[in-house]
Amino acid sequence: MVVLAEIKKYPENKKFFTDDEWNNIDTFFNSCITNKNFPVFVDFGIHYPSANVVADAVRRAGGTDCHGEKKSNRKIGKGYGNMNVNKNIFKKWCT
């Protein structure tokens, strides 16, 4: 990341960061760049639609299951084809 590389050009900046932030690009990104209180905060929100925009798009598409008025032949909780999901998959999600 260009920002971290520029900061690290000046060793006196190290005092403003934890060792992990200084040495780990992922930690630096997550705890500094996305921190609104950080001097060079980057607002990535402009790159993603708001929750309302997404919800409206889902509603116009007929919902997440694509049922309802636009897809009257589809019912909530009913699928087509082999919908069998092995219980071991669920166990991995829950642990």
- Pick the closest to residue 1 from 39, 37, 40 (CA basis): 40
Q: Sign of the C-alpha dihedral, residues 56, 61, 63, 64?
A: negative
Beta bridge mates, 71: 68
Read off the pTM. 0.47
Residue 34 lies in a domain: yes
Residue 23 lies in a domain: yes
| pLDDT of the residue at 23 | 94
* Residue 65 reports pLDDT greater than 80: no
Residues 6+ apart with CB under 8 A from 27: 18, 20, 21
Residue 29 lies in a domain: yes
What is the average pLDDT across 76-83? Answer: 66
- 72 or 50: which leads in pLDDT: 50
Residue 60 lies in a domain: no
- Domain containing 25 equals 2-42
CA distance 70 to 63: 10
Residue 92 lies in a domain: no
| Number of domains the chain contains | 1
User: Do 57 and 66 meet the contact criterion of CB atoms below 8 Å apart?
Assistant: no
- 63 or 34: which leads in pLDDT: 34
